[in-house]
Structure 1
Amino acid sequence: MSTVNTPAREAVPATSLPGPRSPMLYQGLKLFRDPASFMRTCRERYGKRFELKIMPKGSTIYVISDPDEVKAMFLAPRTVLHTGNGSAALEKFIGQTGLAWLDEEEHKARRKQILPSIKGDAHKRIEASVGEMAERIVATWPRGEVVALYPYIHRFTIQVIREVVFGKAVPSCWDELFEVVWDMLSLNRRISSMIETHTMSPFAVKVLRAVRPLGLDRFFKNRARADALIAQAVRERMDSGEFGDDMLSVMLGITREDGSPLSAVELRDEIMTMFLAGTETTSAAICWALECLSREPAALEKLVAEIDAGQSDTYLTGTVHEVLRMYPPTPQIIPREVMKPIEIGGVRYEPGAHLWASGYLVHHDPEIYPEPDRFRPERWEGVKPSAHTWIPFGGGHTRCLGDRIAILEMKAVLREVLSTCALHREDMKPEGPRSRTVTMTTRQGTRLALRPRADRADRADLAGHPAG
């Protein structure tokens, strides 16, 4: 048995942990509709670790939110905890051969191979492109009318991932691929996105596709078209011989020990992983940032002053850290499946169980963050986020590869929006959270009006109060 920490007393079995006894479907619906409230209620009733029954086939998932236990989970050997099966609900998007699905040495090797496409010179290229895109794309967003900003923000993040994946050699089919991917991702609004269709018989999937409100038939048609367009983009790149430091170029240069390259399926799965994971999370984070700032006039005033001065991004960095603390886009880290018995925090978890670290609960623990429900970017002044108490990007072996790119995007959009517009909202009531498969975004899509700033020195409307 793997022992990550030595318990003070004999370990208790995980099956003894408390948790709601309501039916699996009910728990799943509650979690999908209001993830924050559901998880906080469970913590209040059952403590910092508890059992949920939201997985099919009788699997049990155990939520942990004590930082020491989260750290132990992150540091567990690769052979003891696997993450691949934790992405099962996303399989319909990302397939089973990409980084998100791999474990142990396969995951370690693939991660190392892909890193050059987001680090070093590649990161500098992406950073310059993100700034240019923010200036150009934000200028096209509606002005003066209250709209849900989420669709505009999400489309921006897809364009950023295009830069990451394809670099400057944009495929000729990009416009169509963009729209197909955009339509595919709309499935995440529906609870049907959680259905693990890859575990079902072809007949069962056919029946589900016939139920049009589920959106699965449209999704699978889009997926087939996306696969064809990605294959076309790969052929174009190989025929052109134009290789750089973008992700596609890097992946085309990967070879196994026997000299064979990645397969077409592996290329497709990695690319779709980026278009899912690299856009859903960042767009949610940007939406939360604008939602918070539109209700916090003092913080907004201070941030706009810093942006206008153009000499520092200290408060902007604190704002980003605070948004990601209060509203981590992936509020619960991808579950780890127990492969070998393990003890964490005096609890023994057996193979087949799943561990689920709740970043949301860690981030809202008053023992770690005083007044956790207050938006206070100042709390980050001179403070570096801890790897085990600030976990919006996960941690351990599978920490998000694109964390620095996500922060770049958040900063670029906030700079561009706030340097050119004042935020106005009709209703100061906070937007609650809602799920988009594994992410958590604003329930109404961040409904705001962007009003052009006639005078950069004029702060009169920056507080976002409703018009009189």
Structure 2
Amino acid sequence: MKLPPGPKIPLWLLGLQFEINPFGYLDAISQRYGDIVTIMSGSTPIVYISNPSGIKEIFTNTKEITASGVLNQDFAFITGNQGVLQLDGLVHKNRRKLLMQAFHGARMQACGRGICELTEKMMSKLVVGKAFIAYPVIEDITFQVGIERVIGLYEGERYNKIKHLFASLLKLDRQSLIVKIISNIFQEKDLGKWSPQGYLLHLRQELFQLLSTEVKERRQQADISRTDILGDLIFACDETGETLSDEEVRDLLLSPIFAAGDASGTAISWALYWIHRLTNVREKLLEELDSLGQNPDPMSIVTLPYLSAVCNEVLRIYPTQLFTFPRLVESPIELMGYKLHPGTILLGNIYSTHQRDDLYPKPKEFQPERFLEKQFSPYEFLPFGGGSRVCIGASFALFEMKLVLATILSRYQLELVSKRPERPKFAGLICSPASGVKMVMRSRRQKEVEGQRRWGADEKSCTAHF
């Protein structure tokens, strides 16, 4: 077997270098070894690909290369053993189809006004002239949208507890590598919820119990008028025609909420950073948004070309998901001139693909216009992964991103507090802003003062229809 080239230093040291400066590390690796690189994990070769033709091969060759759910077992701790990431074959196909019903068509369109109203509600709590960290504010919005859309909860004690537990689990997942190493040492000691691992187990158990209770109560109500994902799953049948168990339904709820809250919140926070760092970008966006007039229809907002280009450029330059989900070589194959044996793990390197000079000239510069001038293939621009493991909520994530940004930009005058570049911080699958994007609200935009509280006054909020 002739493996692609790659660094020979220990895996733990590579991990430390990656955590300190993820984008710098990936740039250095690509510059030295090219667009196909091998990193050894013990005796297992992990091959990273940032070449569009190579990525196309791993997405489309489903005979010799499989997107095995076994490779995603590390996520089962917080997404459940029967989450969509852990499933394979017909079972995986069936569950993806069930989950995706709520992320398309009329349902998605119906909730647009609710996203705008929720954003305005959260932003109106900020104090003019007082600095704030954008990331947690935005994440609060995206978690609320996710829980409402997935579970159908939008208020009450259980809703508040579930939102708090999701955020707490994510906070622990974002710990630094050093903290995680210390936690692994202490997890061997039986200190209950006072030890790092014990506390994590406690949070997980509490979250799973609350979700299980919600599933049982909703099944007893049997309300077919509900249009959230939980309502779909309760009445759904599996690939054999049998009703899904309560445990299966519970596990399937987890990944969409984590993705909605974490990935979407991260992408919107990065967008606020770039838009307010580059005056010309902000001015062009405001001109486009203002052209829609007072209180525009959400579906008019999401079709704006420059807003779409800005969102795509945010996801290109600092993709929230740096790599695709892993694939496994099942039979001997040749990939980009290298012969790979069964057992080799393949990962699409999203970040490095988005940094290719031949695809994106001057890739370090934030240039939304590139997405107005060229249509990129799903192997050249892949912020949500691809193939059978592409993110189920990709279209909804962009939909939400555009509406949250449009609401904030149209109604508020914000500024970055610091002139220094925002650094990325990698944790789990997500690469978030290290300092959270510190901003200050200077004023409300005068354009919309009159009638600003009449958003949706003649129509119901979509919140009740999630």
If the length of structure 2 is used for normalisation, what is the TM-score?
0.87
Counterpart of 2:464 in structure 1 is none
Counterpart of 1:414 in structure 2 is 405
Change (3 A) 1:381 1:206: closer
Aligned residues: 436
The 1-side partners of 2:373 and 2:271 are apart by 21
Counterpart of 2:30 in structure 1 is 43
1:230 and 2:211 correspond? yes
Counterpart of 2:255 in structure 1 is 273
1:376 and 2:367 correspond? yes
The code of the aligned residue for 1:87 comes to: N
How much does 1:96 deviate?
2.2
1:220 and 2:205 correspond? no
How much does 1:82 deviate?
2.0
The 1-side partners of 2:194 and 2:29 are apart by 31
Change (3 A) 1:214 1:352: farther
1:287 and 2:269 correspond? yes
Q: Is the 8 A contact 1:294 1:300 kept in 2?
A: yes
Query: Alignment partner of 1:431: what SS?
Result: coil
1:167 and 2:152 correspond? yes
The 1-side partners of 2:90 and 2:84 are apart by 11
The code of the aligned residue for 1:40 comes to: D
Q: Is the 8 A contact 1:154 1:279 kept in 2?
A: yes
Counterpart of 2:313 in structure 1 is 322
Change (3 A) 1:211 1:329: farther
Question: Could you tell me the percent identity over the aligned residues?
Answer: 27
Which shows bigger deviation, 376-385 or 20-29? 376-385
1:332 and 2:313 correspond? no
5 Å-filtered alignment, 1:25-424, equals 25-53=12-40, 55=41, 58-77=43-62, 80-167=65-152, 173-191=158-176, 206-207=187-188, 210=191, 215-243=196-224, 244-256=226-238, 258-310=240-292, 313-424=304-415
Counterpart of 1:445 in structure 2 is 436
Counterpart of 2:451 in structure 1 is none
1:22 and 2:9 correspond? yes
The code of the aligned residue for 2:13 comes to: Y
The code of the aligned residue for 1:302 comes to: K
The 2-side partners of 1:278 and 1:342 are apart by 36
The 2-side partners of 1:395 and 1:279 are apart by 20
Counterpart of 1:10 in structure 2 is none
The 1-side partners of 2:195 and 2:44 are apart by 24
The code of the aligned residue for 2:419 comes to: M
Q: Is the 8 A contact 1:172 1:233 kept in 2?
A: no
If the length of structure 1 is used for normalisation, what is the TM-score?
0.86
Query: Alignment partner of 2:85: what SS?
Result: coil
Which shows bigger deviation, 306-315 or 66-75? 306-315
How much does 1:425 deviate?
2.2
Which shows bigger deviation, 281-290 or 445-454? 445-454
Q: Is the 8 A contact 1:328 1:440 kept in 2?
A: yes
The 2-side partners of 1:347 and 1:214 are apart by 46
Q: Is the 8 A contact 2:112 2:403 kept in 1?
A: no
Q: Deviations over 1:266-316 (max 9, x none)?
A: 222211111222222111111110111121111111111211222662211
1:425 and 2:416 correspond? yes
Which shows bigger deviation, 409-418 or 116-125? 116-125
The code of the aligned residue for 1:366 comes to: D
Which shows bigger deviation, 219-228 or 90-99? 90-99
The code of the aligned residue for 1:222 comes to: L
Gaps of at least 5 residues in structure 2 are 294-300, 449-466
Query: Alignment partner of 1:207: what SS?
Result: coil
The 1-side partners of 2:15 and 2:410 are apart by 41
How much does 1:450 deviate?
2.2
Query: Alignment partner of 2:125: what SS?
Result: coil
Q: Is the 8 A contact 2:67 2:389 kept in 1?
A: no
Query: Alignment partner of 1:173: what SS?
Result: helix
How much does 1:66 deviate?
0.6
The 1-side partners of 2:436 and 2:269 are apart by 7
How much does 1:60 deviate?
2.3
How much does 1:115 deviate?
2.2
The 2-side partners of 1:143 and 1:75 are apart by 51
Q: Is the 8 A contact 2:67 2:388 kept in 1?
A: no
Which shows bigger deviation, 29-38 or 167-176? 167-176
The 2-side partners of 1:38 and 1:110 are apart by 36
Q: Is the 8 A contact 1:294 1:424 kept in 2?
A: yes
The 2-side partners of 1:183 and 1:294 are apart by 29
Among 447, 455, 458, the alignment partner of 2:446 is 455
The 1-side partners of 2:227 and 2:178 are apart by 33
How much does 1:406 deviate?
0.8
The code of the aligned residue for 1:424 comes to: E
How much does 1:181 deviate?
1.4
Which shows bigger deviation, 266-275 or 213-222? 213-222
Change (3 A) 1:205 1:255: farther
Counterpart of 1:9 in structure 2 is none
The code of the aligned residue for 2:246 comes to: A
